């Protein structure tokens, strides 16, 4: 009889996730957790069973663009994949954006929102992208206090009615690139009916959105980011036609293929300034900081999915006379990716906690400073971890990991974008330096880490505390030596920022492990902290020579 291998499967993603359950018990008031537990269980079922199955069935469907009607009329219609159409409904009905704005659970509303997304998004084929931008647009309209636009768009962006809910795009990238946004070439002219935009937006995620926030330079403004203005655009005119927008083509990407990313031509697109006629880059950073937080969660749920599949596989697959789960080397490999996954989880959720406290108006000045630095650190650290974990996970499946109809290659392909969009690792490392240039921010970060480490009382956590403290001291020393030498500071910025991100992760792992020991939740969290602390926390290397880099590059 020929052998047939049983494929890896998932269970309810809430019931099967001790880390999420422990974490929510630790940070949420008991009555609140009780009131949302059913919802968590339902989302766990949707993520692990219902949509995981649909995702596999929907594997070959991709969005399509039809530019012309049969008799030549330009229509630029995008047809979404079936799973995306269902994701639209679930997102509205479950309040995957709305929860943060309804704020039924006060400062905990962001944790609530992201916990639900964490449970389901890995099965929704990156529908998280338009949701991230929708959330970012809503936040930006609130922060910038444009009441006219907020009154018009917020009820749509945060609606729970699928037929009313809008999503938003974030059109930033032009042909000149996605990082140095201040060089954008799009022009805004005051014309018939108001401001009209002209130019090409080169990489617009989720081009099906009903609105977008975008940047353009009002004619006559100076160069650079300050001369750009932030504009609000509705993609269709009142009759349902395109608002001076042509979709040139959908991007042919290696991953996130369900996401209709497009090149757009703006030709007289009617737009409204969101907050004056300059400082566009500064104004869109409200949006970026939200989408970067979503990005960190995208990494966390992607890693969690990879590890969940590998763990199931390890119980089903036998080689050399035993289940993989019982092989010491396989366990060692899985432990490595599991520890990285737990670290990323804590960093992302801490960013959500701070965001929730800020929005509820209860954050201290110290917490707001931590939030500013933690956002780029979370984005850059978890993005890199996610790619490494996804790659390792595919290897755990052997050849099956690269065979398309197993659905497994998606784990890596859809993850690979996480260190790229929303600012590359280098750009985010420079943003971390930008954040630290503000008075008191580094001190606030040090306090954040030290206070977590001070919670450790169990001797088994001693080595973890030691490695976190020594990484923090090294980072502090490195910063004080290099702060006045811009070239050297920039050269080492990625190793420095990754060290801060990994140190924060270790500190959160330690605090969580102590809580688990104190509350009868066993030693898994302790094991995660210990393994993580042995996997490279301090990445700063003062011996790296800039001249060597120049020669090699």
> What mask, x for binding ligand MFK by CB under 6 A, covers residues 372 to 411?
----------------------------------------
Q: Please state the closest distance from residue 182 (CB atom) to ligand MFK, in A.
A: 4
Q: Please state the closest distance from residue 112 (CB atom) to ligand MFK, in A.
A: 18
Q: Please state the closest distance from residue 393 (CB atom) to ligand MFK, in A.
A: 18
Rank residues 153 and 181 by Cβ distance to ligand MFK and give the closer one: 181
Binding to ligand MFK in span 155-214, by CB under 6 A: 170, 172-173, 178-179, 181-182, 205
Q: What is the dihedral of CA 203, 206, 211, 214, to 10 degrees?
A: -20
Instruction: Report whether 489 contacts 433 (CB < 8 A).
Output: yes
Binding to ligand MFK in span 455-494, by CB under 6 A: none
Q: Using the rule CB under 6 A, give the single segment among 80-88, 280-288, 318-326, 377-385 that binds ligand MFK.
A: 280-288
Instruction: Report whether 299 contacts 141 (CB < 8 A).
Output: no
Instruction: Report whether 200 contacts 266 (CB < 8 A).
Output: yes
Q: Please state the closest distance from residue 4 (CB atom) to ligand MFK, in A.
A: 35
Rank residues 182 and 407 by Cβ distance to ligand MFK and give the closer one: 182
Distance CA 510, CA 490 (A): 30
| Residues 230-244: b if buried by 16+ CB within 10 A, e if exposed | bbbbbbeeeeeebbb
Rank residues 136 and 525 by Cβ distance to ligand MFK and give the closer one: 136
Which residue(s) pair with 155 in the sheet? none
Q: Please state the closest distance from residue 157 (CB atom) to ligand MFK, in A.
A: 15
Q: Which of 139, 141, 138, 137 is nearest to 274 (CA)?
A: 141
Is residue 434 a contact residue for ligand MFK (CB under 6 A)? yes
Rank residues 423 and 492 by Cβ distance to ligand MFK and give the closer one: 423
Sign, CA torsion 168/173/178/180: negative
Quickly count: other Cβ atoms within 10 Å of residue 553's Cβ: 5
Phi, psi of 74 (to 5 degrees): -75, 120
Is residue 354 a contact residue for ligand MFK (CB under 6 A)? no
Phi, psi of 489 (to 5 degrees): -60, -45
Instruction: Report whether 221 contacts 253 (CB < 8 A).
Output: no
Q: Please state the closest distance from residue 250 (CB atom) to ligand MFK, in A.
A: 14
Is residue 291 a contact residue for ligand MFK (CB under 6 A)? yes
Q: Please state the closest distance from residue 201 (CB atom) to ligand MFK, in A.
A: 9
Is residue 255 a contact residue for ligand MFK (CB under 6 A)? no
| Cα–chain center distance at 165 | 22
Instruction: Reduce the DSSP state of residue 188 to 3 states and report it.
Output: strand
Rank residues 393 and 513 by Cβ distance to ligand MFK and give the closer one: 393
Distance CA 233, CA 237 (A): 10
Is residue 422 a contact residue for ligand MFK (CB under 6 A)? yes
Q: Report the residue from 10, 28, 87, 288 that binds ligand MFK according to the rule CB under 6 A.
A: 288
Number of H helices, E strands in the chain: 19, 11
Rank residues 36 and 373 by Cβ distance to ligand MFK and give the closer one: 373
| Residues 11-21: b if buried by 16+ CB within 10 A, e if exposed | ebbbebbebbb
Q: Report the residue from 294, 345, 478, 532 that binds ligand MFK according to the rule CB under 6 A.
A: 294
Rank residues 181 and 517 by Cβ distance to ligand MFK and give the closer one: 181
- Number of residues lying near ligand MFK (CB under 6 A): 28
| Residues 517-550: b if buried by 16+ CB within 10 A, e if exposed | beeebeeebbbbbbbbbeeebbbbeeeeeeeeee
Q: Using the rule CB under 6 A, give the single segment among 93-101, 103-111, 145-153, 291-299 that binds ligand MFK.
A: 291-299
Q: Please state the closest distance from residue 500 (CB atom) to ligand MFK, in A.
A: 15
Binding to ligand MFK in span 111-150, by CB under 6 A: 128-129, 132-133
| Sites of contact with ligand MFK (CB under 6 A) | 128-129, 132-133, 170, 172-173, 178-179, 181-182, 205, 225, 281-282, 285, 288-289, 291, 294-295, 298, 421-423, 427, 431, 434
């Amino acid at each position: 009889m020929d052998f047939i291998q049983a494929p890896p499967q998932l269970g309810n993603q809430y019931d099967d996730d001790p880390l999420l359950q422990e974490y929510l018990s630790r940070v949420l008031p008991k009555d609140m957790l009780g009131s949302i537990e059913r919802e968590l269980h339902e989302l766990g079922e949707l993520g692990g069973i219902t949509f995981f199955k649909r995702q596999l069935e929907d594997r070959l469907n991709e969005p399509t663009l039809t530019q012309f009607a049969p008799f030549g009329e330009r229509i630029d219609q995008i047809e979404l994949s079936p799973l995306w159409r269902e994701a639209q409904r679930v997102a509205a009905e479950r309040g995957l954006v709305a929860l943060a704005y309804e704020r039924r659970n006060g400062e905990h509303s962001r944790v609530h929102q992201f916990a639900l997304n964490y449970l389901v998004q890995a099965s929704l084929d990156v529908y998280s992208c338009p949701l991230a931008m929708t959330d970012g647009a809503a936040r930006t309209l609130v922060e910038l206090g444009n009441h006219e636009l907020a009154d018009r768009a917020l009820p749509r962006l945060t609606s729970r009615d699928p037929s009313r809910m809008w999503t938003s795009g974030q059109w930033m990238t032009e042909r000149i690139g996605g990082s140095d946004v201040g060089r954008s070439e799009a022009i805004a002219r005051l014309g018939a009916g108001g401001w009209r935009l002209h130019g090409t937006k080169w990489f617009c995620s989720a081009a099906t959105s009903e609105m977008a926030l975008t940047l353009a330079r009002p004619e006559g403004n100076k160069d650079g980011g300050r001369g750009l203005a932030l504009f609000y655009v509705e993609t269709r005119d009142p009759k349902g036609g395109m608002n001076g927008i042509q979709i040139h083509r959908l991007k042919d990407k290696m991953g996130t293929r369900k996401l209709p990313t497009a090149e757009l031509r703006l030709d007289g697109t009617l737009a409204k300034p969101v907050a004056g006629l300059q400082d566009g880059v500064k104004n869109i950073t409200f949006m970026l900081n939200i989408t970067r937080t979503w990005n960190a969660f995208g990494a966390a749920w992607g890693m969690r999915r990879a590890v969940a599949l590998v763990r199931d596989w390890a119980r089903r697959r036998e080689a050399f006379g035993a289940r993989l789960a019982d092989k010491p080397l396989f366990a060692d490999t899985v432990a490595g990716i599991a520890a990285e996954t737990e670290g990323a989880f804590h960093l992302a959720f801490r960013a959500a906690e701070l965001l929730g406290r800020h929005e509820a108006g209860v954050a201290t000045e110290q917490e707001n400073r931590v939030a500013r630095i933690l956002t780029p650190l979370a984005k850059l650290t978890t993005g890199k971890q996610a790619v490494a974990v996804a790659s390792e996970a595919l290897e755990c499946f052997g050849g099956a990991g690269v065979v398309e109809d197993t659905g497994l290659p998606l784990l890596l392909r859809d993850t690979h974008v996480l260190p790229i969009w929303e600012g590359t690792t280098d750009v985010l490392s420079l943003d971390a330096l930008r954040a630290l240039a503000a008075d008191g921010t580094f001190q606030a970060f040090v306090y954040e880490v030290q206070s977590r480490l001070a919670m450790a009382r169990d001797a088994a956590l001693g080595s973890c505390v030691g490695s976190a403290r020594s990484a923090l001291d090294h980072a502090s020393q490195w910063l004080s030596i290099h702060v006045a030498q811009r070239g050297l500071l920039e050269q080492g910025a990625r190793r420095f920022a990754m060290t801060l991100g990994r140190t924060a992760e270790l500190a959160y792992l330690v605090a969580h492990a102590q809580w688990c020991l104190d509350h009868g939740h066993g030693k898994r969290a302790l094991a995660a902290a210990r393994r993580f602390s042995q996997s490279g926390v301090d990445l700063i290397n003062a011996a790296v020579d800039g001249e060597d880099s120049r020669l090699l590059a």
